Chain A
Amino acid sequence: MHRIVGAVVPLFAAIAAFLCAAIILLFLGTNPWDGFTALVDGAFGDVNSLSQTAVRATPLLLVGAGISISFRASVINIGGEGQIVAGALLSTVVALQLPDVPRPMLIPTVMVAGFLGGAFWGAIPGVLKAYASVNEILSTIMLNIVAVQFLNYMLRSPLIDPREIEAGTRIPQTERLSDNAALPTLIDGTRLHLGVPIAIAAAVIAYIVLWRTPLGFRLRAVGFSPDAAKAAGIPVKRSIVAALALSGAMSGLAGAILVFGSEGQRLITDGTSAGFTGSAGFNGIVAALFGGLHPLWTIPSSFLFGGLLTGATSLQRVLQVPASMAVALNGIVVIFVVSSDRFRSRVNTALAARRQFSSATSDEPVDDGTDDAAMAASS
């Protein structure tokens, strides 16, 4: 029964978001039906658009799976944006230093560099929370700002493509990075690259770590009740650091994939806060929430939101509806998903009461609404 309730909430949120989208489209003087057709066609219409959707979904999946990890430990990580940047920067620097390493070595190396960069940037708010009681919501947001400013500095000065200085155009971007680090294309003629399976594998590993390893057990125990975990001898502080570091590492990997899966094969920004990330650090939160904060459910969920982003681009091309509508819709989805928690907990309470009444044989834990159905479904 938990499973059914768990699926109802995203469905409800999706319908609500669709209604809002229809209203916005009507308001813009576009036939909503034409709009949705263009959107779905642009996102899932053919191999090309499906590949594009998968590529757009990749950072959302990694960030979302990472956020699922931290959430299980009751840590809210809003630092995806900064952690993506940290991963991208470190992997770029590594690629610049080791351009001639052969491909089978260089790709794993830059991916690990991205992972570590993100882990480092995530560990900072972890340490601050565990050892100095600094609220992680605030520290992760501040570290997003710091990371973006640092990226702007790096791309305008030390790492800028020398040709940009010569030409005087000064676009904040690195030179073209070693082709040995480029993620190979999987289907010729499309954008689908190795980063997509890497992200899916990472999400599966995140799931295994959370539910099949002692580390995952500790993280979830801390998330369930820090006091109980402490009493059971679990190192609560270190677990909090681990949760944020792992969460950040996933985003960092996304940063590396954004760089080495890009068409230009370089790190580039436009100087604005979402110039490099395309707000993937925030959109990943949406994908994770929609996927019930479960790494495996985040896979289809991020594909859906990747589709929304790709579809919005074609909506702009075909019907001149600005692609920023996708961002607004993401916000609406978040609002509906978090608002339906109460509805879900009510249904769950009712179900639990009925179960107790009819038979006491089930030992399924009663969901108190703070956690979600996906956890119960998989534990």
Chain B
Amino acid sequence: MSDFFTVSVLVATLASGIRLATPYLLAALGETIGQRSGVLNLGVDGVMLLGAFFAHWTALETGNLWLAVVVGLFTGLVMGVVYAIITVYFKAEQGISGIGIFLFGLGFSDLMFEVKVGTPKFTTQLPPVEIPLLSDIPRVGEALFSHSLLTYTAFLLVPAVAWLLHRTTFGMNIRAVGENPQAADSLGVSVNAVRVKTILIGNTMAGLAGAALVLEAKVFQPNLTQGLGFIAVALVYFGAWRSPFVMAGALLYGLVQATVIQWKVLGIISRQFSDIAAMAPAVLTVVALIVLAGRVQAPRALTKPFERH
């Protein structure tokens, strides 16, 4: 155990926890925006898988990682259009339609991988960007200010999402539509238009999360996410629909994961225990759901399709 509590190991663990938190955070922030407008998207995991595959494929074919990121974003946007049609126009049951998106993403990304890539192939990684001056701070700089641009983006999006939701007209409309769509509608806010926009934003961020995941891993494999997208959805509940708390949840997940990996590497815990510890995040989420249930109020119109009476 004393091996773990050395400064360099702790710094490395913190840095890797922040890296691991990035895809969770990107996907969960997008989901937060959608849920605030009353739309549950359970398909995040599928969208991430599609975003991850197409980003990976682009990176392999062109070697251009930034183009890969753009392709990931675009894949998410396309899936957003699909999900908007399903939920806003067809008013489908959101608990189920998301599972449809998930299955499609799971199957289609696998299919495309087998046909277009076939075997695990490695890309390069997004280079870390050292922030001038800050990255020179001993220890702290290495842990906090030496990450890829996507990681910085994810964390900068935390205040940005809070600002969007609470300081802009669009954000006010999002919250109104999520709480009381009838009232918003009577005041001339187009419920459908607001929801289409939040769905597009949320799915685009899920696609970006997939790209972030695969460019960090450098390699794609079928079902790369292993349920990460579902945890991102849970993180929104975990964070009580507020971006700073969602970030706290994502960081907690990233750090727990990083710690378990580090402990395994250092031989502090056995393989058996690390299998047990792998259950921790999901158990933690269930516990958090129990603690939070009844204490925080979900957007009142969450999962309820809007129908004009």
User: Which of A's residues lie within 8 Å of B, judged by CB?
Assistant: 24, 28, 76, 78, 128, 132-135, 137-139, 141-146, 149-150, 152-153, 156-157, 272-274, 279, 282-283, 285-286, 289, 322, 324-335, 338-343
Contacts and interface: CB of A to CB of B under 8 A. Distances in A.
A331 B100 contact: yes
Contacts of A143: 282, 286
Contacts of B271: 156-157
Given A149-B279, A156-B271, A157-B272, A327 B286 contact: no
Contact of A146 (B111, B286, B293): B286
B19 to A, nearest CB: 21
A156 B275 contact: yes
Given A286-B103, A338-B92, 5 more contacts: A76-B95, A324-B114, A331-B106, A341-B92, A342-B91
Nearest to A341: B92
A338 B93 contact: yes
B90 A128 contact: no
Interface in B222-240: 222-223, 226-227, 230-231, 233-234, 237
A152 B278 CA distance: 10
Interface in B58-96: 82, 85-86, 90-93, 95-96
Contact of B107 (A156, A326, A342): A326
B278 A327 contact: no
Contact of A138 (B97, B227, B233): B233
A282 B103 CA distance: 8
Given A132-B290, A331-B101, A339 B92 contact: yes
A145 B282 contact: yes
Given A134-B290, A328-B111, A141 B102 contact: no
Nearest to B302: A135
Question: Binding site of A, secondary structure by majority: helix, strand, loop or mixed?
Answer: helix
Interface string B287-299: 0011001100010
Given A138-B289, A335-B101, A329 B107 contact: yes
B245 interface: no
A148 to B, nearest CB: 8
The 9 closest A-B CB pairs, nearest first, are: A327-B107, A331-B104, A334-B100, A328-B107, A331-B103, A324-B110, A153-B275, A338-B92, A339-B90
A133 B96 CA distance: 20
A335 B275 contact: no
B226 A272 contact: yes
B227 A327 contact: no
27 contacts: A78-B99, A134-B290, A138-B234, A142-B282, A145-B230, A150-B279, A153-B275, A153-B278, A272-B226, A322-B115, A324-B106, A324-B114, A327-B103, A328-B106, A328-B110, A330-B103, A331-B103, A331-B105, A333-B100, A334-B99, A335-B104, A339-B86, A340-B90, A341-B90, A341-B93, A342-B91, A342-B92
Contacts of A325: 107, 111
B226 A273 contact: yes
B278 A273 contact: no
A331 B82 CA distance: 12
B223 A274 contact: yes
Given A76-B96, A150-B279, A272-B226, A328 B114 contact: no
Interface of B: 40, 42, 46, 82, 85-86, 90-93, 95-97, 99-108, 110-111, 114-115, 222-223, 226-227, 230-231, 233-234, 237, 271-272, 275-276, 278-279, 281-283, 285-286, 289-290, 293-294, 298
Nearest to B43: A331
A341 B293 CA distance: 30
Given A142-B234, A143-B286, A335-B86, A289 B111 contact: no
A343 to B, nearest CB: 8
A194 to B, nearest CB: 29
Contacts of A331: 46, 99-108
Contacts of A329: 107
Q: Which of A328, A335, A340 has its CB near the most chain B CB atoms (within 10 A)?
A: A335
B279 A339 contact: no
Contacts of A335: 82, 86, 92, 97, 100-101, 104
Contact of A145 (B82, B97, B222, B231): B231
Nearest to B105: A331
A144 B227 contact: yes
Contacts of A134: 286, 289-290, 293
A78 B95 contact: yes
A243 B114 CA distance: 40
Contacts of B290: 128, 132, 134
Contacts of B90: 338-343
Nearest to B276: A153
A149 B278 contact: yes
A114 B193 CA distance: 48
A28 B116 CA distance: 10
A309 to B, nearest CB: 11
Nearest to B286: A142
A142 B293 contact: no
Contact of A273 (B223, B276, B294, B298): B223
Contacts of B286: 128, 134, 139, 142-143, 146
A363 B227 CA distance: 47
B8 to A, nearest CB: 30
